[in-house]
């Protein structure tokens, strides 16, 4: 995906460079394990919310802690969405910067296909949701929910069902999810900001400038950066923009290029150290507080057939793969970019179905789009609860369909691998160097 050409045409999904293969392997390994922990946290939340102790779960999510004088007397659920998830967005921002500056998206001629596929995978589900959501008051605000891809869940499914797939195809899924994250962040910042405190936003921008200058001066003291990052997070929270945007902004200003004699850059070091904390702790904690939906007063089938839940599920299961395929196909038809000759459009469809596993960011947008106090529908659930049911239902169906497709594709690639061992294969786990740094 990074360097091939076919008679002058950039080849998408071509053989990855050694350094990028190692970086990709490390990210895939952490995301795969994190996906299992995330699934456990989500199942725990669902079981707890629908158990005899369901009221205790609701009380925990709504428990308020924090200094009211600083406007931080927030519920634990809000803390999980605004503060804990900021770490996830910081790591996502580091991955985004890596991909665009030194990774698989650094050349526009070869990045254009995954970018177009990701855009199609965001636009088509949003439009499909709006067409299906019905006329229920307030439902239209949920158009951003099916736009996101949960990379941890998707890579977890890929690791279980997609062995023997080319490394470049895995890189495509990661690139697709990273671009999805960027789109979701933009949607959160623009579409789900009700009011804006310009003074707080300006102060946050000033501190971000200080952070950038410290990076340029090669300052490495955590005693300086941690309070500065906390202050940026607080000011963004006060500005009215969702506080997780602070994590992305800080990540994009973190230095990625290495100095002469420097083994790894600050961005690489932070990504290496914080990615496990994001995948193993931050995302599961958010899922524990966000995934619990109380279905004790209704049936799951009844809740899943409500207009909002059904629209989200269909947008994830159908809209995502259609959008990804359409975006990739149009780009290869209208530009010089070409797929690697050993890949087929079925591979792109399989990745599109995987991208329909929307969870973490979808649940976050669901929280922002719908208020818990909205009038209940026929199922007795609020829009917020219906959104959760739609996300869970759609993600489960997408995961099941992806498993079937990936197993079929993996079987085909096993036959290819047996005949040609020189292709671009990548095992599910590749050991890092002993010191944990990236190879030169």
In this prediction, residues 316-337 reach a mean pLDDT of 90
**Between residues 285 and 160, the one the model is more confident about:** 285
Domain count of the fold of the chain: 1
Q: Is 216 part of any domain?
A: no
Question: Is 18 a residue whose pLDDT tops 80?
Answer: no
pLDDT of 347:
85
Lowest average pLDDT, out of 23-37, 196-210, 252-266, 335-349, goes to 23-37
- 71 φψ region: left (φ > 0), alpha (ψ -120 to 50), beta (else): left
In this prediction, residues 40-61 reach a mean pLDDT of 92
Closest to 337 in 3D by CA, of 107, 18, 179: 107
Question: Is 392 a residue whose pLDDT tops 80?
Answer: yes
pLDDT band at residue 426 using 50, 70 and 90 as cut-offs? very low
Q: Residue 289 maps to which CATH number?
A: 1.20.1530.10
pLDDT of 255:
93
Q: Which domain holds residue 377?
A: 5-192+242-418
Closest to 439 in 3D by CA, of 148, 24, 55, 111: 24
Instruction: Provide the token pair at 74.
Output: 């927030």
pLDDT of 137:
75
Question: Is 2 a residue whose pLDDT tops 80?
Answer: no
Q: How many CA atoms lie within 13 A of 365 on its CB side?
A: 31
pLDDT of 258:
85
Question: Is 390 a residue whose pLDDT tops 80?
Answer: yes
Lowest average pLDDT, out of 40-49, 97-106, 196-205, goes to 97-106
pLDDT band at residue 429 using 50, 70 and 90 as cut-offs? very low
pLDDT band at residue 305 using 50, 70 and 90 as cut-offs? confident
Q: Is 226 part of any domain?
A: no
Determine the Cα–Cα distance for residues 211 and 251; give it in Å rounded to an integer.
10
In this prediction, residues 219-231 reach a mean pLDDT of 92
In this prediction, residues 171-185 reach a mean pLDDT of 81
**Between residues 152 and 128, the one the model is more confident about:** 128
Cβ distance 156 to 397 under 8 Å?
no
Q: Is 188 part of any domain?
A: yes
Q: Is 249 part of any domain?
A: yes
Question: Is 434 a residue whose pLDDT tops 50?
Answer: no
Per DSSP, what are the bridge partners of residue 65?
74
Identify the top-confidence range among 4-8, 47-51, 295-299, 371-375.
Answer: 47-51
pLDDT band at residue 160 using 50, 70 and 90 as cut-offs? confident
pLDDT of 101:
85
Per DSSP, what are the bridge partners of residue 425?
166
Residue pLDDT, tens place only, 79-123:
998 999 899 889 888 888 887 887 777 777 677 888 899 999 999
In this prediction, residues 232-240 reach a mean pLDDT of 94
Lowest average pLDDT, out of 120-124, 154-158, 360-364, goes to 154-158
What element of type H or E holds 5?
strand 5-6
Closest to 271 in 3D by CA, of 151, 421, 436, 426: 436
Q: Is 197 part of any domain?
A: no
Q: Is 220 part of any domain?
A: no
Cβ distance 180 to 122 under 8 Å?
yes
305-334 burial string, b = 16+ CB within 10 Å, else e? ebbbbbbbbbbbbbbbbbbbbbbbbebbee
Q: Is 200 part of any domain?
A: no
Q: Is 72 part of any domain?
A: yes
pLDDT of 59:
94
pLDDT of 148:
86
Residue pLDDT, tens place only, 250-280:
999 999 888 888 888 899 899 889 988 988 8
DSSP 239-279: HTS-THHHHHHHHHTS--SPPTT-SS-HHHHHHHHHHHHII
pLDDT band at residue 65 using 50, 70 and 90 as cut-offs? very high
């Amino acid at each position: 995906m990074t360097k091939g050409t076919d008679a002058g045409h950039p080849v998408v999904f071509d053989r990855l460079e050694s350094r990028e293969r190692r970086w990709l392997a490390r990210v895939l390994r952490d995301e795969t394990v994190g996906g299992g922990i995330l699934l456990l946290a989500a199942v725990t939340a669902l079981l707890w919310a629908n158990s005899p102790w369901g009221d205790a779960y609701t009380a925990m999510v709504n428990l308020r802690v924090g200094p009211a004088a600083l406007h931080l007397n927030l519920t634990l659920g809000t803390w999980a969405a605004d503060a804990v998830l900021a770490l996830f967005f910081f790591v996502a921002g580091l991955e985004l910067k890596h991909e665009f500056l030194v990774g698989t998206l650094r050349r526009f001629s070869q990045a254009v296909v995954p970018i177009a596929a990701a855009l199609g995978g965001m636009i088509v589900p949003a439009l499909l949701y709006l067409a299906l959501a019905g006329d229920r008051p307030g439902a239209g605000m949920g158009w951003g929910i099916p736009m996101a891809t949960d990379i941890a869940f998707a890579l977890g499914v890929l690791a279980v069902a997609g062995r023997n797939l080319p490394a470049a195809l895995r890189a495509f899924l990661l690139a697709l999810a990273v671009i999805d994250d960027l789109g979701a962040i933009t949607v959160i910042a623009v579409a789900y900001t009700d009011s804006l405190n310009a003074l707080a936003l300006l102060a946050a921008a000033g501190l971000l400038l200080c952070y950038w200058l410290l990076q340029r001066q090669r300052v490495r003291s955590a005693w300086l950066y941690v309070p500065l990052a906390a202050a940026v997070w607080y000011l963004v929270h006060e500005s009215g923009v969702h506080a997780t945007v602070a994590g992305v902004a800080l990540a994009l200003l973190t230095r990625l290029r290495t100095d002469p004699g420097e083994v790894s850059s600050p961005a690489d070091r932070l990504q290496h150290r914080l990615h496990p904390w994001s995948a193993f702790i931050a995302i599961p904690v958010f899922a524990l507080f966000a995934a619990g939906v109380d279905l004790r007063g209704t049936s799951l089938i009844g809740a899943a057939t409500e207009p909002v839940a059904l629209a989200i599920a269909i947008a994830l299961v159908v809209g995502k793969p259609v959008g990804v395929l359409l975006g990739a196909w149009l780009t290869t038809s209208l530009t010089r970019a070409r797929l690697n000759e050993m890949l087929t459009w079925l591979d792109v469809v399989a990745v599109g179905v995987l991208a329909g596993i929307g969870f973490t960011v979808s649940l976050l947008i669901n929280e922002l789009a719908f208020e818990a106090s909205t009038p209940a529908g026929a199922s007795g659930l609020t829009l917020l609860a219906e959104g959760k049911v739609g996300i869970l239902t759609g993600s489960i169906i997408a995961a099941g369909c992806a498993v079937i497709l990936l197993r079929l594709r993996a079987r085909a690639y096993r036959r290819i691998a047996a005949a040609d061992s020189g292709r671009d294969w990548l095992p599910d786990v590749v050991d890092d160097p002993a010191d944990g740094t990236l190879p030169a």
